[in-house]
Amino acid sequence: MKIVADDKIPFLKGVFENVCEIEYLPGAQISNDILKDADALITRTRTKCNEESLKGTSVKMIASATIGYDHIDTQWCEANGIKWTNSPGCNAESVKQYIASVFGMLVIEKGWILKGKKLAVVGVGNVGGRIVKLAEALGMIVFKVDPPRERKEDQEKFYRLNDIIGEMDIITFHTPLNREGEDKTYHLCDSLLLSKMKDTALVINSSRGEVVDGEALKKALAEEQIGAAVLDVWENEPAIDKELMNLVWLVTPHIAGYSLDGKANGTMMSVQAISKEFNLGLDNWEPNDIPLPKNDKLTIDCKYLNTEQVVANAFNQTYTIKEDDIRLRMRTDEFEKQRGNYPIRREFKAFSIDLQNTSDKPVKMLESVGFVNVKKIN
């Protein structure tokens, strides 16, 4: 048996070598010729899995170590007997950390008070659900927007985006990319939607670049129709619009889900799926020895900080979104390189935090957003 795998998938090397042949290649180099004699493909979003790359090959299964799967032509694969799997929820906690860092920057850099702010979470799946809990723990007023779930569920309260958009302080997108149909999300955030927003509103997109109409957003920002935007994903990646980038408050190169924890989860889910399909004996494999961050033990002096400022400091000491922003602005042409060589980033659970000169309130709030080792050291 032979597997072809993207060489940027972490923790994978050494896993299959004793049970089958495996070849590692950059995602963009995985082509029809390469896959001719492959039984399985382990991939990320940069490898298009469609008729062009798969027709005439011996591929029987594709495992994507990512939450998204719009790089897979699922209809063609299913019609041609090729099984496929993605890794739902693998990086959900990582994206939550990314959004938390944005919230932290709103407090630290823009002086916002988050409590009472109105937030629309568009797409309430594995990722969006975590954003809802994060925002509610911070005292924000959350409006959930998810038409597919709304049609299926009676218990949950959902809203229509057009009905609430004019009231929102923040709109964050966590949808798949659907180019057509009832739940079309292509250019969901278009000129009409932007025109209905408050002139102080913040738009965040960490889902898929095409969910936001880049030209419309550029115009809205240039004309100050809205307050600001944060973009992790872009139309035409990696050839991003530099004019748009220069108007956006925080910019990153499609790395919201790039914590090592999230990557490890995606690899684990892919390995286990391939193992079960081909009976390789790795059904319970998990990566170990995930590197710790340089500073996994944090101390925050809370003497002159309110609770939101304490939490914002914790968010931004565990992941500093501004560093990714600066790196992309300085080397915009290295979009793919920055993704491929992304520095170690660990999620909240990897850190311990000591709080000096504080009450119990910041401790409880940090625990409610996902930190597991927080204590007062007064």
Distances in Å between the Cα of 147 and the Cα atoms of 81, 94, 95, 129, 159 are 31, 24, 22, 14, 8
Which residues neighbour 221 within 8 Å (Cβ) at sequence distance 6 or greater? 228, 229, 244, 247, 248
> Measured between alpha carbons, how far is 256 from 3 in angstroms, rounded to an integer?
28
Residue in 44, 46, 174, 208 annotated catalytic: 208
Q: Which candidate in 44, 254, 345, 346 is catalytic?
A: 254
Cα–Cα dist 299/280, whole Å? 46
Active site residue 174: no
Dihedral sign for Cα atoms in the order 216, 220, 222, 223: positive
Residue 208 annotated in active site: yes
Cα 98-107-314 angle, rounded to 5 deg: 55
Residue of 375, 352, 347 whose CA lies nearest to 93: 347
Q: How far apart are CA 311 and CA 331, in angstroms?
A: 31
Asked if 167 is an active-site residue, the reply is no
Angle between helix 307-318 and helix 360-368 axes, rounded to 10 deg: 50
Token output for 19: 């049970």
Question: Which residue out of 51, 136, 237, 334 is catalytically annotated?
Answer: 237
The catalytic site residues sit at 208, 237, 254
